[in-house]
Structure 1
Amino acid sequence: MKSWEGVGEAYAASYASLCAGTHDDLVRRLGPAHGRRLLDVGSGTGALAAQLADVGWSVTGCEPEPTMRAVAAREHPLLAVIDGALPVLPFAGAQFDAVTANFVLNHVPDPRAAAREITRVVQPSGVMIATIWVVSPSWFWQGVAERAGLAAPAGTGLPPDKDFERTSAGFGRMLSEGGWHAVDVSELGWTWWATADELWRSAEGGVASAGALYLSLDASERARYARAFDRLCEEHSLDGRVALDHRAAVAVGTAR
Structure 2
Amino acid sequence: MTDFDAYERDLWAGRAGAYERGFARLTARAIGPLLDTAGVTEDSRVLDLGTGPGLVAAEASRRGAKVSAVDADPQMAETAARNAPAAEVRVAVLPDLPYEDETFDAVVGNFVINHVGEPETTLKELRRLLRPGGRLALTCWVMPGSGVLAVVRDAMEEVGVPWPDDVPLSPFMEHGRPDAFAALVGGVFREAAVEHLDWDFAFDPGEWWENVATARVGSNGLVLSQQDPPTVARVKDAYYRRLAPFTGENGEVSFPAHALLARGLR
TM surpasses 0.5: yes
After superposition, what is the alpha-carbon deviation per residue over 1:7-55, rounded to whole angstroms, capped at 9, x for unaligned? 1111111110111111111232233623121000111110011001001
**Identity %, equivalent residues:** 29
**CA distance in structure 1 between the partners assigned to 2:244 and 2:196 by the alignment:** 30
Inter-CA distance 88–214: structure 2 relative to 1 (3 Å threshold): same
**CA distance in structure 2 between the partners assigned to 1:205 and 1:188 by the alignment:** 27
Of 91, 99, 108, 2:107 maps to 99
**CA distance in structure 1 between the partners assigned to 2:99 and 2:40 by the alignment:** 24
TM-score (norm 2): 0.85
Of 149, 168, 179, 2:178 maps to 168
Return the letter of the residue paired with 1:188.
L
Inter-CA distance 237–153: structure 2 relative to 1 (3 Å threshold): farther
Structure holding more helix per residue: 2
Q: Does 1:190 align with 2:202?
A: no
- Segments of 5+ residues of structure 1 without an aligned counterpart are none
Aligned residues: 252
Q: Do the aligned residues in 2 keep the contact of 1:110 with 1:163 (CA within 8 Å)? A: no
- Structure-2 residue corresponding to 1:112: 120
Secondary structure in 2 aligned to 1:22?
A: helix
- Structure-2 residue corresponding to 1:151: 162
Q: Do the aligned residues in 2 keep the contact of 1:59 with 1:80 (CA within 8 Å)? A: yes
Q: Do the aligned residues in 1 keep the contact of 2:40 with 2:46 (CA within 8 Å)? A: no
After superposition, what is the alpha-carbon deviation per residue over 1:100-119, rounded to whole angstroms, capped at 9, x for unaligned? 01111111100000111100
After superposition, what is the alpha-carbon deviation per residue over 1:172-216, rounded to whole angstroms, capped at 9, x for unaligned? 111122x11111211111011121133121332222221111222
- Structure-1 residue corresponding to 2:98: 90
Return the offset for 1:142.
2.8
- Structure-2 residue corresponding to 1:199: 208
- Structure-2 residue corresponding to 1:124: 132
Inter-CA distance 130–53: structure 2 relative to 1 (3 Å threshold): same
- Segments of 5+ residues of structure 2 without an aligned counterpart are none
- Structure-1 residue corresponding to 2:218: 208
TM-score (norm 1): 0.88
Inter-CA distance 231–40: structure 2 relative to 1 (3 Å threshold): same
**CA distance in structure 2 between the partners assigned to 1:148 and 1:130 by the alignment:** 34
- Structure-2 residue corresponding to 1:252: 263
Q: Do the aligned residues in 1 keep the contact of 2:108 with 2:137 (CA within 8 Å)? A: yes
Of 136, 139, 151, 1:140 maps to 151
Of stretches 102-111 and 220-229 in structure 1, the one that deviates more from structure 2 is 220-229
Of stretches 206-215 and 229-238 in structure 1, the one that deviates more from structure 2 is 229-238
